[in-house]
Amino acid sequence: MPGFDTLPIEETLEDSPQTRSLLGVFEEDTASISTYFSQLFKAMQRIYDAQNELSAATHLTSKLLKDYEKQRFPLGGDDEVMSSTLQQFAKVIDELSSCHAVLSTQLADAMMFPITQFKERDLREIVILKEVFQIASDDHDAAINRYSRLSKRKENEKVKNEVMEDVYTSRKKHHETTMHYFASLNMLQYKKKIALLEPLLGYMQAQISFFKLGSENLTQQWEDFLTNIGTSVQNVRREMDSDAEAMDQTIQDLKEASDPLYMPDPDPNTVPVNRNLTRKAGYLNTRNKTGLVSSSWDRQYFFTQGGNLMGQSRGDVAGGLVMDIDNCSVMAVDCEDRRFCFQITSFDGKKAAILQAESRKDCEEWIATINNISKRIYLSENPEEIAARVNQSALEAVTPSPSFQQRHESFRPSTQSRPKPGRSGSQCSVGSESPALSSLSLDSLVASDTPIQFDIISPVSEEHASQAKSAGQGRRTNPFGESGGPQSEESEDSILHQLFIVRFLGCMEVKATENADVIYETMRQILAARAIHNIFRMTESHLLVTCECLKLIDPQTQVTRLRFSLSSVVMCASHQENKRLFGFVLQTAGGRVDGRPVTVCYIFESNNDGEKICDSVGLAKQIALHSEMDRKASQKQRELNKAKEKQQEELHKQKQIEKDLEEQSRLIAASSRPSQTAADGQVLVLSNSQSEDSDVGEEGQKKGESEA
């Protein structure tokens, strides 16, 4: 429509706050039009009244002039010139009086009739439709509130049918009233122009007819101008008629197409669920806590904008931020007094919102849309196409394939397009597919008839068994399987400390541990099982990676839920397409089945890139390996030093024994030698004995020191 906007009749059923805001602008414009036309009507009424007064006054003047000759003035005599002159004036004035009477008639028909009709009919119609629209809107809100308060535990089919019929009737009445109200407001813009131009056109034409004796040039100019105005009025009238026909046809089409949408809970077979949406808007009931155990429900308009969930109440010009839904989690929840409820939890777990949809279809579409936004699909160029492809992959994952090769053709990209491992730390996040492995069956990877565990439980290992045994002797056992004692000091001295926010998806027993394809197959089976059984709940934890172990810690209580020794982690890998999915294979310390150790594959979803977590685990294993090698080398060096010291001590003892034996032999030899009689010999003997005595004294001193 040229010159102004129109109210969208197609959005009357949705009744969004944006449409209400635009309706408020139109209603404000209507009030301004009504005020202005009331003043204009008063002004034109004064012109019409003045013209009637002028016509009556002119006619009275002409009559008085004609009656002049019948008057008898005491001081005046018969003046035939004056009487004839006045008769001529009376004749002219009488003709002018006739012209004024015609002008009054023309003003009544061409000026007062259009503006009176616009004021009394069109503006009055808008006022009546506004009252009917407000009543229909209040009835619809009341019916929706009754329907939302239907109890889930006390099912009464009669009451339920009455409430649903009430919702159907009120919604249909509200929709039809709104469409007619919007159409009338749109037509008012045309009628406003016509109501402004037609009275002025009639006024000017009447004046030109009255002043026909005026200047021909001036008259010709006014006639050309008024002719153009008349042509414009006719064009606007034809355009109004065309738009009126189009709006009537649109109303009829919308009535036929919107009839199934009047029901609050339509049949899913008639209206299927669209799971490929990345944007959604509509009314939801939000739960607000009013006390420790009490809560209230408020109806509010919600819509998604990028990665944010926005809320807007009626009367608000713009919406406000409710929650950041990037990397959030959403799941259907059971409320005591409400149906079709779902809960949104922020990525850090600090904020949660419980919302109620009108129907099961609406609830599932909201959950699917928020899941798509949480995966940041909306940032791509074709978000709906990518969402459809992801959902199609999920559906194909639910349907089992006869061979491993056929399953992987639809589950992940081809071997040529898969990235090659670039470093040793990435061995935990990528795997190579060999031709021999592609022909393996499912039983060679995943243990048959193995139940999938969707909640966190403690792994079966000798380490945990010994811990439980020792804990049972020293302190009370936690019945929930959580270790509530003091944190062990082994992680305090660790070089590596990295914390990640993860959500546990499930775990199951596997057979093969030589290739990362076992993790991909476990991801496929766990996601397929969650989709089949409608399991949306996920346990959020903090994954602590250290050089000794992996810990799953409760974010609220900081209690260690699970502890995996780093030596028992066989491999770790992330998903090829969805980088937020990752898993690792754990080989338990005790228990063997068919001559092999029991291995379990754990699958998680993280807020970060799963490959980073796998690289962190790989780095921890490398640091642990180097630490173990250094420890063994230092232990071996200590053993060598100890053996060397022991050998030196034995050698010292042997030398001391040999020295003692030599000393004893010298003493025995000295005591058995004969004495000399010669003087020189005596002196020599004495000197020898003195030297021997001195030697013996020194040796005895050394021997005493050694014995001491």
* CA distances (Å), origin 627, targets 458, 495, 531, 621: 28, 10, 44, 10
Which of 185-194, 203-212, 408-417 is predicted with the least confidence, judged by mean pLDDT? 408-417
Q: Please, how many CA atoms are within 13 Å of residue 626, restricted to the half-sphere of its CB?
A: 8
Pairing status of strand 581-593 against strand 596-606 = antiparallel
680: confidence class by pLDDT, cuts 50, 70, 90 = very low
Q: Please, how many CA atoms are within 13 Å of residue 308, restricted to the half-sphere of its CB?
A: 7
pLDDT of residue 455: 79
Average pLDDT, the chain: 76
- Concatenated DSSP letters of 226-249: HHHHHHHHHHHHHHHHHHHHHHHH
The CA distance from 90 to 63, in Å, is: 7
pLDDT: which is higher, 277 or 469: 277
CA nearest neighbour of 605 among 331, 385, 356, 419:
331
pLDDT of residue 693: 47
Q: Is the predicted pLDDT of residue 649 greater than 60, yes or no?
A: yes
Q: Is the Cβ–Cβ distance between 314 and 17 less than 8 Å?
A: yes
Share of the chain above pLDDT 70, in %: 76
pLDDT of residue 451: 81
Q: Is the predicted pLDDT of residue 535 greater than 50, yes or no?
A: yes
* 303-312, 476-485, 584-593: range with highest mean pLDDT: 303-312
pLDDT of residue 205: 86
Q: Strand locations in 450-580, DSSP E?
A: 498-510, 539-545, 549-553, 560-565, 569-574
189: confidence class by pLDDT, cuts 50, 70, 90 = confident
Q: Is the predicted pLDDT of residue 424 greater than 80, yes or no?
A: no
The CA distance from 583 to 517, in Å, is: 11
Which of 242-246, 322-326, 410-414 is predicted with the least confidence, judged by mean pLDDT? 410-414
The CA distance from 622 to 612, in Å, is: 15
46: confidence class by pLDDT, cuts 50, 70, 90 = very high
10: confidence class by pLDDT, cuts 50, 70, 90 = confident
Q: Is the predicted pLDDT of residue 421 greater than 70, yes or no?
A: no
pLDDT in tens, 311-331: 998 888 888 888 888 888 888
Does this model's pTM top 0.85? My answer is no
pLDDT in tens, 99-155: 788 888 888 988 899 899 898 999 999 999 999 999 999 998 899 888 888 877 666
pLDDT of residue 274: 85
Q: Is the predicted pLDDT of residue 41 greater than 70, yes or no?
A: yes
87: confidence class by pLDDT, cuts 50, 70, 90 = confident
* CA distances (Å), origin 43, targets 36, 137, 470, 478: 11, 38, 101, 90
Of how many residues is the chain composed? 708
pLDDT of residue 32: 92
Instruction: For CA atoms 608, 613, 614, 616, give the dihedral sign.
Output: positive
pLDDT of residue 444: 58
Residues 6+ apart with CB under 8 A from 82: 68
pLDDT in tens, 329-382: 888 888 877 888 999 988 887 888 899 998 888 898 999 899 888 888 888 888
pLDDT in tens, 591-625: 565 556 788 899 998 876 788 888 888 888 888 88
241: confidence class by pLDDT, cuts 50, 70, 90 = very high
Position 86, amino acid: L
